Structure 1
Amino acid sequence: METLEPKLVQGVTIQGLFDIALKERLSEGAWRALSAGGLDRSRPVRPTYPVATWLRWQNIVLRDLWPDAPLDEAWRRLGHTVMEGLLATVLGRMLGVGARALGPQFALAKLDHAFPGTGNYIRSHVRPVAPCRAELWLSDLNDRPTYYVGVLEAVLLLAGATSPRCTLLCREGDSGTYLLEWSV
């Protein structure tokens, strides 16, 4: 889905990753690079950030935390880490309680409403295909499909799934469809 508005990432995503999940994990060099790239930790998190800035910051994190990991694995780990940070925010803790209480199928159904809360440019659609199995379409992968593998695995784990598996089935332009499978 193409928007005419600039692509923006919500500040809660930035706060969760940098102020919570990575606060003690990044090197001084990475913090300097992030600062030079526009992340001003001396000021409150802004409501939104340009997606291009967010993507540059992600690359700095990858190089710092997982320099020797295969790129796809580093992206997957970053997806998990972003979810770790988001779920530690006030809003994320509330959403996490609901997801755990209601299970994976319900949590996936709510993603259609959750993704726009992290960025104004991303839409999703979940289609259950069998018990413990669903297909999920995402409108914009930002050329980071395995990042979303990590995000989706983290969502399933939060919702009580065991052995979550997330496979990219196909890409069409900027969008992609994933197969999500899990055990309970």
Structure 2
Amino acid sequence: MAEIAERPARRSIGAQRNPASEEAILAAAQAVLMENGLAGFSIEAVARRARAGKPTIYRWWPSKAALLLDVYHNHKRTHFSHAPKGNLRDDLIVYLNNLFSAWRNPTTGALFRSVVAEAQADADTAAALTAYMADRRCQSSAIVIEAKARGEVRDDIDPELVTELLSSFAWSRLLTDRLGDDDADIIKTVDMLLSGIAKS
């Protein structure tokens, strides 16, 4: 699932990141992606564009996929917002609608689909995607944690597993190009899920 709040800063691998350099590298990566597409995206091209050394980029992003996922996250964040509604049903419906809306942006949706596809054959991409999704589940599970605190959800329910179930529905629609007008299906999916986790 996508975030409901600002993503916490990534821990640096090695030396602490220089914020200005990090911003320049991410901006260069997005520019290279927009100009050359995924086929023309490389660490070398980003380094040239950002006037940064490849070792610096690899110290902070251990693979091309890790850098692409940060570009994806930043781009998605410009199209995604979440204002809590105060009850779990409305929060999940709004969340999924906003996620689908973000993925309908050609760059955002296509980028994430490509990373998922590459992860099936490339171990570095798979590792980067696994780490990214673990971070997203941790962040997004706050929706369910807050609902638990309000007494809406059973005590034995695992919030991260709930978000993973919703992610499965969302990924299925993204990867099979079914991001059209899904309001009715989103509502039905949320209602079926709630029937299994709501406190009676």
TM-score (norm 1): 0.36
Structure richer in strand, relative to its length: 1
TM-score (norm 2): 0.34
Structure richer in helix, relative to its length: 2
Larger Rg: 2
